[in-house]
Structure 1
């Protein structure tokens, strides 16, 4: 088990997080280079993956809150925060693409700030923001690239 107060994330977590960025990057960039007939499918797959990732990252907060002391005032907030990302992902999947993409953009950005809050309150490992920062930047950047593709390419 990796120490909760370690400054560096576990190597396996870094590798898996980087692998999790592949669908974001390939999907967002693919929207610019693939034939028009494939664009809707790629966008739907990118949105589906984004929703899954929001649910996964929300679930991490649920798990972290469950290990908190019963007297913790912050754990109930973290439990609440854990259900917001999957609900936003679910909502985004029901919206038109031109509304869904910006919702994902802002959801991933807001989730990163929730991660920072959790670390500062001792609810997440000290190394968690070190792991999450590059993931968040790429996820938000990919959503921005996809958003631009919807505006330019239609």
Structure 2
């Protein structure tokens, strides 16, 4: 097992548990009857929007805890912290395909932001690998539903 600096058990367990609704609901959408598909699709979109907004909250907390108010890092991180919510909420009002695309794009953009050296320096060492794994699974879940919508 990796050292405590590179692997934090509780965040990893909670992160993996947070994938259950993404994978479970995508599976229901892909394999179930239309009535259940519709319910699962709405639940998937809402959960996706909530989790994307949560990721913004992570960066709000980092800005408040590490960066100094008025600094470039503080200002840019606070703006980035608000962006996921401002993307996720209106995405819920879009057509199904555009909602999925908007939310998936939000997950990819926040992950790209977190991968910048400026972010890596301010986040725990275990965060990068955890977020990469979570983002891959979340994006695959969105893509699988998009594929189904495209085929039908």
TM-score over 0.5 for the pair: yes
| Aligned partner (choices 41, 44, 50) of residue 43 of structure 1 | 41
The more displaced of 70-79 and 11-20 is 70-79
Q: Distance in 1 between matches of 2:81 and 2:67?
A: 17
Q: Distance in 2 between matches of 1:139 and 1:127?
A: 18
Q: Distance in 2 between matches of 1:35 and 1:134?
A: 30
User: Of the two structures, which has the highest relative contact order with CA contacts closer than 8 Å and spacing of 6 or more?
Assistant: 1
Q: Distance in 1 between matches of 2:67 and 2:22?
A: 36
Query: Does structure 2 conserve the Cα–Cα contact (< 8 Å) formed by 1:119 and 1:129?
Result: no
Q: Distance in 2 between matches of 1:9 and 1:108?
A: 22
Q: How does 1:1-154 map to 2 (within 5 A)?
A: 7-70=5-68, 72-117=71-116, 118-120=118-120, 122-153=121-152
The match for 1:3 is none
Query: Does structure 1 conserve the Cα–Cα contact (< 8 Å) formed by 2:19 and 2:138?
Result: yes
Q: What is the TM-score when the length of structure 1 is the normalising length?
A: 0.89
| 1:33-67 deviation line (CA, Å, top 9, x unaligned) | 10112211110000000000011111000000001
Deviation at 1:7, TM superposition (A): 4.0
- After superposition, the CA RMSD in angstroms is 1.5
Number of residue pairs matched?
147
Q: List alignment gaps of at least 5 residues for structure 2.
A: none
Query: Does structure 2 conserve the Cα–Cα contact (< 8 Å) formed by 1:119 and 1:125?
Result: no
After superposing on structure 2, the runs of 4+ consecutive aligned residues of structure 1 that deviate more than 6 Å are none
Query: Does structure 1 conserve the Cα–Cα contact (< 8 Å) formed by 2:28 and 2:36?
Result: no
Q: List alignment gaps of at least 5 residues for structure 1.
A: 1-5
